[in-house]
A and B are shown apart, each in its own frame.
Chain A
């Protein structure tokens, strides 16, 4: 089983690429690294499976941050403010996380390592159904004025 720390750089790259292309943020960097998840989580989580280990990633902010990120995603990709009433924050956060995971999977695939993406699950406060193991939490700056984080961890099912 690979240590999560070995893989974190791939997810940093995925986060930077996704937010640069999808929202137009070009000066994103990791401001802080920690190992403790907050009690409340707003955003989305995604499982990424491989033969060696199951990974999980969580994209989270506060509720206002999730709203702002989702609005900026739609505005940047459509240049159409009239579409904002159709905004679905849960869907947008899940899709952004899916793309972050996708960049990781595509890059690993080029190195002959097979990973597959699960389905994003929206988080409205609580993380249930999984137990993150040894999480690495990255706090990013440059994603607008939001306090946005990405957590990377190995997954243990709650029954394990």
Chain B
């Protein structure tokens, strides 16, 4: 399983990456991007099975990223991890087929549970 983690916070990327590795995903199968534009390129090159994206990021938002990835066709599974987990964001995420929206702050167990359910 290949995962792409997109968050402008290095700390959050570390937390998500570390949790994915604890679930048995090899380090070389987890890539990171700190913005939506780089993430779009990585989706095309790395071809992740799962995209985990923040929403509020400079430049391209996580929702815009998800919309672009879905529009490009054959999207990976997608999860959103965000402090902005409002109903509006949840509705947009649902529209694009996002499998879960995890609100920050979250426990490591919350994240493990969300990942285990879709991997």
Q: Find out whether the CB atom of A92 lies under 8 angstroms from the CB atom of B103.
A: no
Size bracket, chain B contacts: 20 to 34
In the bound complex, what is the Cα–Cα distance between A83 and B14 (angstroms)?
A: 8
Chain A nearest CB: distance from B103 CB in Å? 6
Q: Which residues of chain A in 17-37 are interfacial with respect to chain B, using CB atoms and an 8 Å cutoff?
A: 17-18, 21-22
Q: Which residues of chain B in 77-100 are interfacial with respect to chain A, using CB atoms and an 8 Å cutoff?
A: 82-88
Q: How many A-B residue pairs have CB under 8 A?
A: 72
* B contact set with A: CB distance below 8 Å: 8-12, 14-15, 18-19, 56, 58, 82-88, 103-108
Q: Find out whether the CB atom of A105 lies under 8 angstroms from the CB atom of B86.
A: yes
Q: Find out whether the CB atom of A101 lies under 8 angstroms from the CB atom of B83.
A: yes
Q: Is A8 an interface residue (CB 8 A)?
A: no
Q: Find out whether the CB atom of A91 lies under 8 angstroms from the CB atom of B83.
A: no
Q: Would you list the 4 A-B pairs with minimal beta carbon distance, nearest first?
A: A102-B83, A109-B86, A21-B105, A95-B9
Q: Find out whether the CB atom of A99 lies under 8 angstroms from the CB atom of B105.
A: yes
Chain B residues, CB < 8 A from A74: 11, 14-15
Q: Find out whether the CB atom of A103 lies under 8 angstroms from the CB atom of B105.
A: yes
Chain B nearest CB: distance from A59 CB in Å? 13
Chain A residues, CB < 8 A from B82: 102
- Which of B14, B88, B103 sits near A102, CB closer than 8 Å? B103
Chain A nearest CB: distance from B68 CB in Å? 21
